[in-house]
């Protein structure tokens, strides 16, 4: 008997058979060029189809010139897009997959205003109500433009169908144009589109249906609750779906949460790991109770157990497992083959998937850098021409990935770690509040290394003696770093501790804490939360614009809310000038003004790490390949560690 009978059962949507209930919901890959789909995107989607996804909804594609952003965002508002989408549809079909296209217009939200040349474009919306998150004042769409855009949805759908997409999904969610028309707080119009706020969506549905014919499924993506300032609440969304359902034109509803229009709603657009798996299901259930067609639910469904439970409870008919398949394109196949332990579970870190979008880089995954690199580093691995004896020094993300890849390629690999447990810095990172799932990164890599046949030696630091005894053909140095102590007057006082010591439970922390953050990443935010939850008074001095400046926006915004709620006082633009007993002297990084914070029991320095180069320095005269990966090169993040581990494993 199958463990996930509901998740693996097929479903018919207007005559199109989905082989299971596992959906890769639409997600920008940031790999378009000049707004047009590329071969890299086709290879990316092909990998998910090969991996067995039941339905792939291809990324948002702009339907009209008023919806166009920078070139890496996809468009479908001219016929020039058709060959690129055809290549994607063909690639998915070649593996028995089903792919729908998604129709997108941001209105005043999301990519509104962004252009390829860096200037700010006019953003269009139902009414001139600014978007809090983008601080943009949009321009009200004249009625004639509204009608033109309605027709553009239908024309775009026709193009996607002509390219071979099996169905079409309309974006009615995330605070984009359709939801701006639906929302009485953003649609203040007095014309027909204001008198009846559903009219814009209903006209789009009619126009799309007329232009794609009766054969193709047509879906509506909608936020079950926008969960943010001036967003559409669940009660209003449920009524909207009920009204749309009465039209009888929509074949499925795809329920998410959140909105790009506000900071609080924005967190839910790609919910970070601090948010519970499957939390959107109750919103989906409320909609499902009012509609006659299947409902997809999406939001942190990262394991088949979560998905099956939602289906079993009748809260939805299909589950979006989107980052789950960015992280593991083979997810559906592994579930089908009952290889559950082999699933590389998405940890909701947002770092390399949506995080890459803000950096202008192609989509990837912190745990699986092969993702988004299907035509390069992510190509199927080949066996090494000559099997070597490989020694990997360091069992953090870089060493584990290098070892797994090298062993998979036929090398005989032994991995050493000086500690008693594999995982390196990940084992500290997972102790931060709300970040326990981060440990999954190490667990997944350990499983991959074990499966590939890597031998592991714990409690043994690698030095030159060991290398001379073992005499490997090649070495991967992945020894990471050690805490970095900045030079500052008073640093050597006993009440000055390192953030990593706090995480390791080695520091004696008093009641009143000043935390100085020179990394602007997860550590200071997490330590601040941890100490504040323990009842300490926490003041956080940040050497930059804001705490979390260097981490993904939704993760940062969520954490900023938590710290505010806990009463942590955050001071931006502050550098540490000196420590004098209970007084901490700080200097504004721009004005140069100096201020003293009094009554400090403990100063915590979140100053990151410095690279450990001892092993590398000892290798002079070693007669074999040496590869360096991760923080021992220079301390960065787990993403670079895993990527460089992959590169080392492929180079051997
Ligand atoms: C990189 C990235 C890009 C996204 N782009 C889109 C998009 O184009 N259209 C859309 O409807 N949702 C988009 N989303 C949201 C996803 O479809 C999905 O709702 C979200 O990732 C939460 O689901 P998950 O927890 O299964 O990943 C995007 C998500 C990610 C990670
Ligand atoms: S980068 Fe993080 S959130 Fe994104 S797919 Fe990978 S594990 Fe999931």
Q: Sketch out the chain's domains with CATH numbers.
A: 11-358 (3.20.20.70), 389-483+611-651 (3.40.50.720), 496-607 (3.50.50.60)
- Ligand 2 mutation pick, 366, 371, 554, 643, max ligand atoms within 8 A of CB: 366
Distance 364 CA to ligand 2 centre (A): 8
Contact 346, 354 (CB under 8 A): no
| Ligand number nearest to the C-alpha of 366 | 2
Of ligand 2's listed atoms, the one at least distance from the Cα of 347 is 7
Contact 407, 463 (CB under 8 A): no
Instruction: Spell out the SS3 assignment of 206-241.
Output: HHHHHHHCCCCCEEEEEEEECCCCCCCCHHHHHHHH
- Ligand 1 mutation pick, 7, 21, 22, 26, max ligand atoms within 8 A of CB: 26
The protein residue whose alpha carbon is closest to atom 13 in ligand 1 is 27
Write down the pLDDT at residue 1.
Answer: 62
- Ligand 2 mutation pick, 349, 555, 641, max ligand atoms within 8 A of CB: 349
Distance 274 CA to ligand 2 centre (A): 13
Distance 329 CA to ligand 2 centre (A): 12
Of ligand 2's listed atoms, the one at least distance from the Cα of 441 is 7
| Ligand number nearest to the C-alpha of 364 | 2
- Ligand 2 mutation pick, 328, 353, 362, 443, max ligand atoms within 8 A of CB: 353
Distance 109 CA to ligand 1 centre (A): 15
Number of Cβ within 10 Å of residue 36's Cβ equals: 18
198 CB burial (10 A radius; 0-12, 13-18, 19+): middle
Q: How far apart are CA 382 and CA 372, in angstroms?
A: 19
Distance 441 CA to ligand 2 centre (A): 10
Q: How far apart are CA 336 and CA 5, in angstroms?
A: 10
Q: How far apart are CA 207 and CA 168, in angstroms?
A: 12
Q: How far apart are CA 137 and CA 120, in angstroms?
A: 11
Q: Residues lining ligand 2, judged by CB closer than 6 Å? A: 323, 326-327, 346-353, 365-367
Q: What is the dihedral of CA 582, 587, 593, 594, to 10 degrees?
A: 20
Of ligand 1's listed atoms, the one at least distance from the Cα of 30 is 1
| Ligand number nearest to the C-alpha of 221 | 1
Write down the pLDDT at residue 374.
Answer: 98
Of ligand 1's listed atoms, the one at least distance from the Cα of 323 is 27
Distance 337 CA to ligand 2 centre (A): 23
Listed as ranges, residues in the chain with pLDDT below 70 are 1
The protein residue whose alpha carbon is closest to atom 2 in ligand 2 is 349
Its pTM stands at 0.97
Which residues, in sequence order, are bridge partners of residue 380? none
Of ligand 1's listed atoms, the one at least distance from the Cα of 300 is 25
Distance 252 CA to ligand 1 centre (A): 18
Which residues neighbour 20 within 8 Å (Cβ) at sequence distance 6 or greater?
7, 8, 9, 10, 52, 53, 54, 332, 335, 336
Helix/strand/coil for 444: helix
Please report which residue ranges of 394-458 form alpha helices under DSSP H: 397-408, 426-429, 439-452
| Ligand number nearest to the C-alpha of 343 | 2
| Ligand number nearest to the C-alpha of 270 | 1
CA end-to-end span of the chain, whole Å? 43
Distance 25 CA to ligand 1 centre (A): 6
Distance 503 CA to ligand 2 centre (A): 23
Q: How far apart are CA 424 and CA 638, in angstroms?
A: 10
* Measured CA distances, 132 to 126, 176, 260, 266, 268 (Å): 16, 13, 9, 11, 16
| Ligand number nearest to the C-alpha of 56 | 1
Q: Residues lining ligand 1, judged by CB closer than 6 Å? A: 25-28, 59-60, 102, 171, 221, 256, 270, 298-301, 320-324, 353-354, 357, 363
The protein residue whose alpha carbon is closest to atom 7 in ligand 1 is 27
Of ligand 2's listed atoms, the one at least distance from the Cα of 351 is 1
Q: Over the stretch 3-12, which tens digit does the pLDDT of each residue have?
A: 999 999 999 9
Q: How far apart are CA 123 and CA 131, in angstroms?
A: 10
* Measured CA distances, 211 to 206, 207, 237 (Å): 9, 6, 26
Of ligand 1's listed atoms, the one at least distance from the Cα of 353 is 1
The protein residue whose alpha carbon is closest to atom 25 in ligand 1 is 300
* Measured CA distances, 191 to 34, 147, 184, 185, 188 (Å): 36, 12, 14, 16, 9
SS3 content of the chain, % helix, strand, coil (to 5): 35, 20, 45
- Name which of 339, 415, 334, 352 is nearest 649 in CA terms: 415
- Ligand 2 mutation pick, 24, 331, 343, 350, max ligand atoms within 8 A of CB: 350
| Ligand number nearest to the C-alpha of 60 | 1
The protein residue whose alpha carbon is closest to atom 29 in ligand 1 is 27
Of ligand 2's listed atoms, the one at least distance from the Cα of 352 is 1
Looking at the chain, the number of H-run helices and the number of E-run strands are: 22, 27
Provide DSSP, 458-502. Answer: ES----HHHHHHH--SEEEE---EEE-----BTTTSTTEEEHHHH
What backbone phi and psi angles, to 5 degrees, belong to 218?
-130, 120
Distance 327 CA to ligand 1 centre (A): 13
Of ligand 1's listed atoms, the one at least distance from the Cα of 169 is 11
* Measured CA distances, 583 to 542, 602, 607, 624 (Å): 17, 10, 19, 53
| Ligand number nearest to the C-alpha of 445 | 2
């Amino acid at each position: 008997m199958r463990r996930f009978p509901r998740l693996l059962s097929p479903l018919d949507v207007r005559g199109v058979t989905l082989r299971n209930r596992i959906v890769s919901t639409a997600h920008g890959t940031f790999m378009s060029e000049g707004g047009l789909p590329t071969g890299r995107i086709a290879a990316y989607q092909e990998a998910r189809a090969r991996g067995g996804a039941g339905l792939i909804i291809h990324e948002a594609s702009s339907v009209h010139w008023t919806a166009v952003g920078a070139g890496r965002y996809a468009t479908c508002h001219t016929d020039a897009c058709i060959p690129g989408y055809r290549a994607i549809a063909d690639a998915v079909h070649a593996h028995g997959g089903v792919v729908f296209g998604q129709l997108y217009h941001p209105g005043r939200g999301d990519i509104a205003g962004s252009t390829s040349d860096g200037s700010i474009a006019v953003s269009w919306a139902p009414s001139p109500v600014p978007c809090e998150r983008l601080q943009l004042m949009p321009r009200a769409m004249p009625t004639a433009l509204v009608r033109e855009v309605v027709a553009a949805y239908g024309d775009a759908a026709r193009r996607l169908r002509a390219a071979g997409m099996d169905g079409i999904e309309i974006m009615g969610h995330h605070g984009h144009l359709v939801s701006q028309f639906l929302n009485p707080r953003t649609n203040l119009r007095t014309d027909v589109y204001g008198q009846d706020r559903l009219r814009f969506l209903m006209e789009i549905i009619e126009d799309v249906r007329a232009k794609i014919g009766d054969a193709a499924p047509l879906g509506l993506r909608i936020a079950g609750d926008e969960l943010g300032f001036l967003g559409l609440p669940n009660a209003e969304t449920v009524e909207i779906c009920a009204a749309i359902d009465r039209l009888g034109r929509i074949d499925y509803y795809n329920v998410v949460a959140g909105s790009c229009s506000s900071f609080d709603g924005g967190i839910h657009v790609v919910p970070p790991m601090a948010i519970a798996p499957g939390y959107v299901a109750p919103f989906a259930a409320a909609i499902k109770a009012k509609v006659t067609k299947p409902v997809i639910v999406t939001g942190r469904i990262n394991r088949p157990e979560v998905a099956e439970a939602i289906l079993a409870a009748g809260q939805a008919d299909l589950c979006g497992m989107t980052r789950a398949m960015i992280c593991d394109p083979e997810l559906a196949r592994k579930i089908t083959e009952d290889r559950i332990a082999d699933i590389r579970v998405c940890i909701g870190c947002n770092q390399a998937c949506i995080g890459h979008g803000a950096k202008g880089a192609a989509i990837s995954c912190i745990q699986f850098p092969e993702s988004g690199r299907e035509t390069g580093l992510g190509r199927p691995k080949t066996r090494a021409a000559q099997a070597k004896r490989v020694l990997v020094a360091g069992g953090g993300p870089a060493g584990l990935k290098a070892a797994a890849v090298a062993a998979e390629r036929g090398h005989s690999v032994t991995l050493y770690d000086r500690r008693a447990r594999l995982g390196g810095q990940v084992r500290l990172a997972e102790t931060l509040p709300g970040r326990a799932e981060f440990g999954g990164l190490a667990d997944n890599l350990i499983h991959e290394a074990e499966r590939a046949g890597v031998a592991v030696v714990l409690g043994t630091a690698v030095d030159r003696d060991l290398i001379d005894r073992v005499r490997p053909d090649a070495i991967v140095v992945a020894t990471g770093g050690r805490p970095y102590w900045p030079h500052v007057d008073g640093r050597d006082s006993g009440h000055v501790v390192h953030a990593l010591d706090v995480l390791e439970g080695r520091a004696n922390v008093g009641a009143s804490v000043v935390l100085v953050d020179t990394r602007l990443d997860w550590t200071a935010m997490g330590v601040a939360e941890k100490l504040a939850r323990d009842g300490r008074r926490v003041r956080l001095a940040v050497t930059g614009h804001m705490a979390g400046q260097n981490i993904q926006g939704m993760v940062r915004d969520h954490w900023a809310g938590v710290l505010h709620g806990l009463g942590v006082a955050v001071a931006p633009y502050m550098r540490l000038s000196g420590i004098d007993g209970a007084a901490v002297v700080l200097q504004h990084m721009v004005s140069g003004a100096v201020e003293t914070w009094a009554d400090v029991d403990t100063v915590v320095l979140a100053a990151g790490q410095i690279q450990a180069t001892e092993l590398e320095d000892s290798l002079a005269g070693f007669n074999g390949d040496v590869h360096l990966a991760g923080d021992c090169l220079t301390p960065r993040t787990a993403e670079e560690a895993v990527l460089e581990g992959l590169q080392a494993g492929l180079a051997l």
